Amino acid sequence: MKIIISPAKKMNRDTDSLEVRTLPVFLDKTEILMKWMKGLSREEAKALWKCNDKLTDLNFARFAGMDLGQGLTPAVISYEGIQYQYMAPSVMEERHHDYIQENLRILSGFYGVLKPFDGVAPYRLEMQAKAQVNDCKDLYEFWGEEIYRELTTEDSVILNLASKEYSKSVEPYLTKEDMFVTCVFGEWKEGKVIQKGTMAKMARGEMVRFLAERDAGCPEDAKAFDRLGYGFREELSADREYVFLKEG
Three-state secondary structure string covering 79-135: ECCHHHHHHCHHHCCHHHHHHHHHHEEEEECCCEEECCCEEECCCCCCCCCCCCCCC
Give the pLDDT confidence score for residue 191 in this predicted structure: 84
Give the pLDDT confidence score for residue 189 in this predicted structure: 87
Per-residue pLDDT of the chain (248 residues; tens, 9 = 90+): 999 999 999 999 999 999 999 999 999 999 999 999 999 999 999 999 999 999 999 999 999 999 999 999 999 999 999 999 999 999 999 999 999 999 999 999 999 999 999 999 999 999 999 999 999 999 999 999 999 999 999 999 999 999 999 999 999 999 999 999 999 999 988 888 888 889 999 999 999 999 999 999 999 999 999 999 999 999 999 999 999 999 86
Q: For the whole model, what pTM was predicted?
A: 0.96
CA 244 to chain centre: 20
Domain parsing of the chain, residue ranges: 2-246
Nearest residue to 92 via CA among 77, 73, 82? 77
Give the pLDDT confidence score for residue 95 in this predicted structure: 97
Nearest residue to 83 via CA among 189, 183, 206? 206
What is the largest distance, in Å, between two alpha-carbon atoms of the chain?
Answer: 53
231: three-class secondary structure by DSSP: strand
Phi, psi of 179 (to 5 degrees): -110, 110
CA 3 to chain centre: 9
